[in-house]
A and B are shown apart, each in its own frame.
Chain A
């Protein structure tokens, strides 16, 4: 095999692998990414029930209700719109009323958000950046309230 042929084989193989990888990435990006919305976005964009998404805002004070079997109901608010959320499981340590929260799940036909993951901030000084942006959008953000940086971890 000559040097030229050898190089062609190499380049061909590389392009082949890259093409496969590109196909994998594109199909995965189509199927597995999750969009983030503020409660106002959810209402205004008329998100279809069943679409997977993330919502973020503050846990509305006075909205947390605990039911049997670790059922938790609460409302996520950006100051303008509230979305009722239902979650079954153990909420993070720093899940508190009036504090930032991010929930991932689906909207049910009744308008309730069925969350399968609830993330709270991980440090009392910071707020998830997504929540800060959602609050800024709705005009309920005061500079200096908390530093705009975050640490949202399950």
Chain B
């Protein structure tokens, strides 16, 4: 009963989607207010039906209804409840249903909260949103139906891939999809603007909060995925330049560029054509990411079972939307009027610099990800493009971006004074240079790049703080004035400084963990002690422990530092009988911002076990930086929401009393 209900609800959502694809467009043409308004209700009802469909699938999983094919394939009655729930999207069919659930959620949000949008623009946005939704409803119903029944009900399921039986599955995919799919709103706004042939600064103001929201989720989703891979794969890596990771990084880079160019458009009414193009490209990259992951052209952990018809179907969606939107762009872009003028050295110029480098960096990732596929298709030669390629291409571009980052917020709009800004950044560059010298001296000249990188991170961090102190007048003005200025400062200014600080934190963590991390691979016997970077690890022995749907071998270790026991760690290996697979549960011990990381290899016959032991200094900063970036974004978002209705004049807010 439940699966049929879910299936039926999804078909109804498709029917509503088809209505919403056409009615508002016709309404906008014929000035029929009733047809235009219809889109509001259909968008909300679409979400309601997809939610019913999703809930039905959740119930199938939670009650272990193995008559449903995907539940049989991916669940097990003895699995803990949380994994029964998360395995809903731990497979191709369910993850696509989550995809459309989030897509329809965003549509419903535009319908509910877009009250201040011009009626026809809103109608077009909801129609475009529905075009995307219909394509994916059809994809699910025709090629990936999660509600398919088996002819006979098996007694037990085949279990979820043990690698996915982790709390990470509860967090990473939903966040990532909220980010990926969230960019669909920017896309729909861009297409709607092109259809209407009208675009202005107000457009950017409407699009920015949606883009910012998607960006926040994508940032968190990527960081969460990175941390999950770090602790679950057992060898301490946090980024693999795996094509699937690149597929999420590309929309992030383009989306970050979009955030910045939308600022120029909103404040100065310039870069309009470019911003529209970026909005289209960002969501196109999300679609390409979906294609890469879901079509099975890639070999990766993320490629669940594959089926060629699915790949062809998604490719068709991809060609239709990307091709169609770019064709529309080409035919309409020239009609858009030129925006405001600015000198190359100006805030706008700095944001153009940002866009130039972010999109070029995105392009290098694109080439590195797709070149092997293209080469294999053309010549049959199989190659792998790994970390060295990306370090050599993406790395230098990102360094240039970071170098310029503190200058941007300090430059004035229209025409900036580079010399003046450089003077204000003297402290930041001084501290940066000092850090380079100190790190170089302490390290003893082993590496030149690492001290420079740490210095660069320090420069960006201090630069972000300089921006805030300059604006609030800290150290120059009396404290009461500073406080008044600080509370009058737009939240987006705080957001910028905090987000820039965050990316520098992440950079610091990456450099530190990659350069000064130490590792030890050894075989230890009970009673034996090994040491690494001042930490001693004493092996007490192996014990067996049963789990709900697995059994595990746990290795008990004591950690000592400076002759004192500071704790115990218990890495383990779990064997899952249902799939004849095992997973490696690394043990982590956080020391300040660094971590000790211990994972197991094979056990010997004499009670010995092979271990990988890592010390990763400041590794936590990588993910902490992402959280800080997210906070910056959230702060900026809260500012926007206040301003969406009627823009407050800046002069007034500066005089407003402290909040």
A residues lining the B interface (CB < 8 Å): 1, 3, 6, 9-10, 13-14, 17-18, 20-21, 24-25, 27-29, 31-36, 54, 69-70, 89-91, 93-94, 104, 122-125, 128-130, 133, 147, 149-154
A124 to B577, CA, bound (A): 12
Interface residues of B in 202-242 (CB under 8 A from A): 233-235, 237, 240, 242
What B residues does A18 contact at CB under 8 A? 360, 363
- Interface segment among B43-51, B172-180, B580-588: the answer is B580-588
- The answer, among B367, B381, B582, B602, for a CB contact under 8 Å with A35, is B381
Q: Which residue of A lies closest to B611 (CB)?
A: A90
* CB atoms of B573 and A14 under 8 A apart: no
User: Contacts A32-B392, A70-B521, A123-B161; is A90 near B296 (CB within 8 Å)?
Assistant: no
Apart from A18-B360, A24-B396, what are 18 other A-B pairs with CB-CB below 8 Å? A3-B338, A17-B356, A24-B364, A31-B388, A32-B386, A32-B389, A32-B392, A33-B372, A33-B383, A93-B582, A122-B163, A123-B301, A125-B305, A130-B299, A130-B382, A149-B299, A149-B305, A154-B233
Given contacts A35-B383, A150-B303, A153-B233, contact A10 B344 (CB under 8 A): yes
Which residues of the partner chain B approach A151 to less than 8 Å between Cβ atoms?
A: 299-301, 303
Q: Which residues of A contact B385 (CB under 8 A)?
A: 29, 32-33
Contact between B382 and A90 (Cβ–Cβ < 8 Å)?
no
Is B341 interfacial (CB 8 A cutoff)?
A: yes
B303: contacting residue among A14, A21, A149, CB under 8 A: A149
- Find out whether the CB atom of A25 lies under 8 angstroms from the CB atom of B367: yes
Residues of B within 8 A of A (CB): 161, 163, 233-235, 237, 240, 242, 296, 299-301, 303, 305-306, 338, 341-344, 352-353, 356-357, 360, 363-364, 367-368, 371-372, 381-386, 388-389, 392-393, 396-397, 521-523, 573, 579-584, 601-602, 610, 612
Q: Report if A34-B610 is in contact (Cβ < 8 Å); known contacts: A6-B343, A24-B393, A28-B393.
A: no
Point out the residues of chain B lying under 8 angstroms from A90, CB to CB. Answer: 521, 601-602, 610, 612
B584 and A93 contacting across the interface, CB-CB below 8 Å: yes
Closest-CB distance, B441 to chain A (whole angstroms): 31
Contacting residues, chain A, for B296 (C-beta < 8 A): 149
Q: How far is the CB of A135 from chain B (nearest CB, A)?
A: 14
Q: Closest CB of chain A to B192's CB: distance in Å?
A: 27
Please give, as numbers and ranges, the residues of chain A lying within 8 Å of B522 by CB-CB distance: 70
Cα distance A3–B305 in the bound complex, in angstroms: 54
A21-B341 in contact (CB<8A)? no
User: What's the least CB distance linking B116 to chain A, in Å?
Assistant: 33
Q: Is the interface of B mostly helix, strand, loop or mixed?
A: mixed
Chain B residues, CB < 8 A from A1: 343-344
Bound CA span A76–B56, Å:
47
Q: Which of A21, A54, A104, A149 contacts B364 (CB 8 A)?
A: A21
Bound CA–CA A95/B583 (angstroms): 13
- B246 CB to closest chain A CB, in angstroms? 14
Cross-chain pairs A/B with CB under 8 angstroms, 12 sampled: A6-B341, A9-B344, A10-B352, A24-B396, A31-B392, A33-B384, A34-B383, A70-B522, A93-B573, A124-B580, A149-B306, A152-B299
Query: Using Cβ atoms and an 8 Å threshold, which residues of chain A touch B521?
Result: 70, 89-90
CA distance A69 to B303 in the complex (A): 35
CB pair A14–B344 under 8 Å, yes or no, is: no
Query: B111 CB to closest chain A CB, in angstroms?
Result: 38
In the complex the two chains form, is A70's CB within 8 Å of B610's CB? yes
User: How far is it, in angstroms, between the C-alpha of A34 and the C-alpha of B375 when the chains are bound?
Assistant: 13
Top-6 shortest CB links A-B: A90-B601, A32-B388, A36-B382, A28-B392, A150-B299, A24-B393
